[in-house]
């Protein structure tokens, strides 16, 4: 734009500032070019001594509709008045851009008045005007008005239909959107992608995939919508499988696909896949902006390679709140809590204002390192210094902080003093702390409250059952199990996976389905023999079955993460890092055993927790395949 103004100055110096041939491109560039200056366009239009054409007014109104200015609508109205002063009548394009402006800034009252102008000037039969009105009413949430305009359209094109579909999807009325889609005389990629995206946002993954598979022609946006949909709804495996299918068709992934795939790799701990994506980015010279950098940092951190995560962070040219927050979270996730806090302070020194997510990350660091004083310092700073209103996640983090430090009574008092109603996640954090610190009295009280207020959550029953089991209250354990059976609560099975040569192998407790089952169990028994020399004793208090102690040891010895570790030992190169992904929190026995295995065999073992299995089960429960029909 600076160079453009210099060129315009040359025109003025040479006595050619205002003729129409020079004014038109000057205003067009200033108003519409991505590097333009809408204020410069307004100045030229309103200060020119010659009478501007309707085209110039339309161009600037169009530029205002594209801008992010809060006064775009009022400036558009001012230009409309100026047109009247010059005896220029608005045409169909004027109203199209006015409706676009009102839609972007949700100016419903003004848009309704423009609708009156459209009828008065007989532009209601113009296709572009109709489409812009449908879009305007849809964005404002006035679907009845949008449908009325649609029904009155004398001619319709695919944009008309797509605008109405987008309106229904935006309002969450997926069934109506499907109905309009089925009636369309012709569809383009936008039609399919819009509906698939709407189904994905509503959580109807099966229906979205059915439509995706039925597309006769897909573009890269189609793949991006479906892959990101799988990823955002916890279907990381399906996201990677679809990405591999996309690769087999020699389709180049776009920015959105790469970010989604990296997110899926982070969920699964699929380090090899994530590294391949990083190599692809480098090889193809894809610009590493803040979003892509943050996705890479998050992936490497959750796959347990914090050194690579920080290499990406340090090499990022464009560091903003996203990259800093990813680094802070990644360091905390991997136990580098002091370094996490240092990066947080560095972010503030760089004059980047922390947001609620940044504060959540640093509060987690304080929680992991057991620093109650620092945790409350940052919690108070969030409120008093940056004016960020704490959300339930922040309060949960503070309860977790107090709970980890063993301050259970303080944690309960904190819950009772927060200004918003605590949810079951907050009480669940306290219940987990009761389990960790063997506080049976408080655990029983909180646990009974949770299983009544949140009866469908299997984890509440399991935690309370474990508290009873450790306290040798076998009758209470049996009562919990009877309650679960009566309420038909199915416990999500513990599941652990490990990636070997690009293939993810999955195990459940007592799994004997793998083709190397015999070798897996044999290797684990050898490991147990070695770690017992360092004092390992299986922790069997949490086993609720009424069996002998030897059988209890067998039960805990068959946990999924132990099988995954054993498989990693026989399948991966000696000395290589083992990354185990779990869908539920690791039990204390597995934590102790695997920590000793790492020490004895000098092998780095990274455990990644992801609740993608729970997400899937919840999704299937809420969104059955036939829910739309």
585 within 8 A of 609, measured Cβ to Cβ? yes
pLDDT value, residue 541: 57
Residue-by-residue DSSP string for 379-408: HHHHHHTT-PPP-HHHHHHHHHHHHHTT-H
Q: Specify the pLDDT at position 17.
A: 56
- For residue 330 the two structure tokens come to 């990644």
In angstroms, rounded to a whole number, what is the distance separating the alpha carbons of residues 53 and 45? 10
Q: What is the pLDDT of residue 268?
A: 83
What's this model's pTM, rounded to 2 decimal places?
0.77
**Which range has the worst mean pLDDT, 328-332, 483-487, 548-552, 624-628?**
624-628
Q: Please report which confidence band the pLDDT of residue 540 belongs to, taking 50, 70 and 90 as the band edges.
A: low
Q: Which of 6-15, 213-222, 536-545, 586-595 has the highest mean pLDDT?
A: 213-222
Which pLDDT does position 622 carry in this prediction? 38
Q: Where are the alpha helices (DSSP H) in 508-608?
A: 517-532, 549-557, 560-571, 588-600
pLDDT higher than 60, residue 615: no
Q: Which two tokens stand for residue 86?
A: 């010059």
Query: What pLDDT shows up at residue 72?
Result: 86
* Per-residue pLDDT reduced to its tens digit, 31-75: 899 888 999 889 888 888 778 889 999 999 999 988 877 788 888
Q: How many C-beta atoms lie closer than 10 Å to residue 175's C-beta? A: 12
Q: What is the mean pLDDT of residues 449-477?
A: 78
Task: Confirm if 286 and 258 have CB atoms less than 8 A apart.
Answer: yes
The pLDDT score that the predictor gives to residue 546 is: 44
How far is Cα 620 from Cα 238, in angstroms, rounded to an integer?
15
- For 159-206, what is each residue's pLDDT tens digit? 999 899 988 888 888 888 888 888 988 888 888 998 999 889 888 899
Q: Tell me what the mean pLDDT of segment 504-510 comes to.
A: 84
- Kindly indicate the confidence band of residue 242, based on its pLDDT and cuts at 50, 70 and 90: very high
Looking at residue 555, what is its pLDDT? 61
Please tell me the predicted confidence (pLDDT) of residue 155: 85
Is the confidence at residue 472, as pLDDT, over 80? no
| 475: enclosing H helix or E strand | helix 474-486
Greatest extent of the chain over all pairs of C-alpha atoms, in Å: 101
Lowest mean pLDDT among 232-236, 313-317, 442-446, 482-486: 482-486
Residue 613 has pLDDT above 60, yes or no: no
- Is the pLDDT higher at 125 or at 392? 392
In this structure, of 102-116, 376-390, 598-612, the range with the lowest mean pLDDT score is 598-612
Label residue 501 by pLDDT band (50, 70, 90).
confident
Q: Is the pLDDT of residue 521 over 60?
A: yes
Does position 392 have pLDDT exceeding 50, yes or no?
yes
Q: What is the pLDDT of residue 624?
A: 37
- Mean pLDDT of the chain, nearest integer: 85
Neighbours of 542 (CB within 10 A): 18
> Residues with Cβ < 8 Å from 515, sequence gap 6 or more?
none
Torsion of Cα atoms, 591 then 570 then 274 then 332, to 10°: 20
- End-to-end CA distance of the chain: give it in Å, rounded: 54
* Residue 528 near residue 536 (C-beta atoms within 8 A): yes
């Amino acid at each position: 734009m600076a160079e453009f103004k210099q060129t315009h100055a040359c025109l003025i110096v040479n006595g050619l500032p205002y003729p129409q041939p020079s004014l038109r491109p000057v205003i067009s560039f200033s108003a519409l070019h991505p590097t333009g200056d809408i204020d410069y366009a307004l100045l030229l239009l309103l200060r020119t001594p010659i009478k501007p054409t309707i085209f110039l007014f339309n161009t600037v109104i169009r530029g205002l509709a594209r801008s992010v200015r809060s006064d775009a609508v009022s400036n558009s109205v001012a230009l409309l008045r100026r047109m009247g002063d010059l005896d220029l009548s608005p045409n169909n394009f004027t109203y199209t851009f006015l409706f676009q402006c009102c839609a972007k800034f949700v100016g419903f009252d003004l848009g309704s008045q423009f609708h009156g102008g459209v009828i008065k000037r007989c532009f209601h039969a113009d296709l572009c005007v109709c489409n812009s009105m449908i879009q305007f009413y849809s964005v404002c949430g006035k679907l009845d008005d949008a449908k009325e305009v649609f029904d009155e359209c004398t001619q319709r094109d695919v944009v008309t239909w797509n605008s109405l579909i987008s309106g229904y999807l935006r309002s969450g009325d997926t069934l109506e959107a499907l109905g309009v889609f089925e009636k369309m005389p012709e569809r383009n990629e936008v039609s399919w992608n819009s509906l698939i995206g709407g189904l994905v946002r509503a959580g109807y993954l099966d229906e979205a995939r059915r439509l995706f598979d039925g597309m006769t022609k897909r573009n890269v946006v189609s793949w991006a919508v479906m892959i990101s949909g799988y990823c955002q709804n916890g279907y990381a495996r399906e996201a990677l499988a679809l990405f591999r299918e996309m690769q087999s068709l020699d389709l180049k992934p776009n920015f959105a696909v790469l970010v989604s795939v990296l997110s899926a790799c982070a969920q699964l701990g699929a380090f090899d896949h994530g590294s391949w994506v990083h190599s692809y980015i480098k090889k193809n010279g894809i610009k590493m902006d803040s979003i892509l950098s943050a996705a890479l940092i998050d992936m490497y951190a959750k796959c347990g390679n914090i050194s690579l995560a920080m290499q990406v962070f340090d090499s990022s040219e464009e560091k903003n709140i996203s990259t800093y927050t990813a680094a802070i979270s990644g360091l905390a996730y991997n136990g580098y809590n002091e370094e996490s806090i240092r990066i947080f302070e560095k972010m503030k020194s760089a004059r980047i204002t922390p947001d609620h997510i940044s504060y959540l990350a640093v509060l987690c660091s304080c929680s992991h390192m057991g620093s109650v004083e620092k945790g409350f310092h940052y919690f108070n700073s969030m409120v008093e210094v940056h004016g960020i209103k704490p959300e339930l996640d922040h309060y949960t983090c503070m309860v977790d902080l107090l709970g980890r430090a063993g301050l259970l009574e303080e944690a309960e008092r904190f819950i009772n003093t927060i200004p918003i109603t605590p949810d079951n996640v907050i009480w669940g954090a306290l219940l987990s702390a009761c389990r960790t610190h063997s506080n049976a009295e408080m655990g029983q009280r909180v646990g009974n409250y949770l299983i009544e207020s949140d009866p469908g959550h299997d984890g509440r029953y399991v935690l309370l059952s474990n508290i009873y089991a450790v306290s040798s209250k076998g009758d209470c354990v049996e009562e919990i199990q009877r309650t679960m059976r009566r309420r038909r609560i199915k416990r999500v099975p513990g599941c652990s996976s490990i990636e070997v040569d690009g293939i993810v192998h999955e195990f459940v407790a007592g799994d004997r389905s793998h083709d190397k089952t015999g070798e897996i169990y044999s290797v684990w028994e050898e490991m147990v023999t070695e770690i017992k020399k360092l004092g390992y004793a299986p922790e069997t208090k949490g086993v609720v079955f009424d069996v002998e102690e030897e059988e209890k040891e067998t039960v805990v010895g068959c946990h999924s993460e132990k099988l995954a570790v054993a498989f990693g030992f026989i399948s991966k190169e000696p000395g290589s890092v083992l990354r185990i992904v779990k869908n539920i929190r690791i039990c204390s026995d597995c934590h102790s055993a695997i920590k000793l295995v790492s020490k004895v065999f000098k092998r780095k073992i990274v455990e990644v927790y992801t609740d993608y299995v729970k997400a899937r089960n919840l999704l299937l429960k809420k969104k059955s395949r036939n829910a739309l029909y």
